[in-house]
Structure 1
Amino acid sequence: MEELQGGREGQIFRSENRVYRPRGKWSETVQYLLSYIAKNGFHAAPKPFGFDGKGNEVLSFVDGEVFNYPLKGNIATEEALTSAASLLRSYHDVSSSFLSQHSSDTLEWMLPVREPIEVICHGDYAPYNVSLHGSKVVGIIDFDTAHPAPRVWDVAYALYCWAPFKTHKYDAMGDLTSQSLRAKQFCDAYGLPEIERQSIVQAMIDRVQALVDHMRSEARNGNQAFISNINDGHHLAYLADIEYLQSNGRYITEALMGKKCL
């Protein structure tokens, strides 16, 4: 088997066109979700193949090139940005009817359900969770963090990751002006209404704070990965990003509304 690179070293493997990932409490729900969106015409996500006898979830391999921060090359292009936004919109539209079809099932999610429920959010729609052919985003991977929530909850985190509104020297790209332009291009390609653009900076702040709260909660519950993250100060970068968004919220909002010459 070939080990795949990602956030869980030594735990995700590929054998031919199958991917084997550690099973979580939410994995059965994710399998339902992936099966549902495939049956309804969305083919840019892994296909589910159940579970093996070794505690692994089995999925199809999504072909394409995968990137991570810092954003360089094809992943940093406008085509990657806008195609990512369009693909997220397509996924959201298909996922919006999932719960009505599974209302009688017991569904468990990694992250809390958030009202009002409009779609099944991916939960971590970042550059490292898509695949590219050339500069076009053609696939979405790692649905572990999927959960029911408003569309804007997912779009907010995507904007934060794709602009990116990040301050750490490894993750940062460009300046506030270029970041705000990329955020507007993402919103335009997604088709985000003006009314939601007015409040999306606060949604980004709330979403990143929810991530920090999740990290701290998991660490308190004995999750070794999150204990290491907290000890290494990973959460401090997110807190710095929250301050950055708070300080520049008015500028970003005006840019998203087309009130800034970018």
Structure 2
Amino acid sequence: MRLLIVFLAAMVGSTLVPAFAQSSDPMDLQRCIWGCLANSKGNDDPAYHACVKQFCVEEEQSSVEQTGQQPKADRQTVMLVQRSLAARGFDPGPADGIWGRRTAAAVKAFQRSEGLTQSGIIDEALVSALRSAEQSDQSGSASSSPQNIATRLDVPILEHGGDGQMSNCGSSVVTGLKTNGDGFLAVRSGPGTGYRKIDELHNGDVVYAFDRKGDWVGVAYKVQSLECASTTTRPIQYEFMGWVHGKWLSDLAG
């Protein structure tokens, strides 16, 4: 069974769509967007854009129209935007979640490069454009051979066989990392701090958990489509995968 990334949004559920305007939870903007994806046919569906505008950013946009300035955005949302801009080659300054002139200038520069209205604020068009850019990056990296991918791990991550009808993996989100600490969750080549660090994850990043050894979870991430309904136990083969400490994972389906 082949599951597209919108499966993630479906698991979040439509009940989360209007949550952003009602809560200060740092994850609400992202959850709201996932909810809109779950109730549409994908990123290009007009219904998706209308949902994001109505439920996720309309309240902030109204404030922008009245004041001409970026409204107070939650720190986690600003941080996610800063990281995404930096990954695209735009300089928002440190990814500290603090909105300032440098971040606003980077937003405008990105908007200009995408042919968007140069509002200099976080709006639905900006979020959609950043997501499209990230998906394009993921598509470009999908050509790596499974043999080379597997050698990056010292301990293979196994998908444990089931009945072939239900998924053998679960979706989770990285949460609880403190910005005044390391600010990242280390991805390692095996289940323990003694193994090599091969990547970093941050609050809000979505992972798919396949395997567990004690407190450590074998995950795949930055996945546009995945297969996790095998009848046999097998090593997973993804461009982005590794072992992370389960303390920092929250089950999206729960």
Pairwise same-fold verdict (TM > 0.5): no
TM-score (norm 2): 0.27
TM-score (norm 1): 0.27
Whichever structure has more helix as a proportion of its residues is 1
Larger RCO (CA within 8 A; separation ≥ 6): 2
Whichever structure has more strand as a proportion of its residues is 2
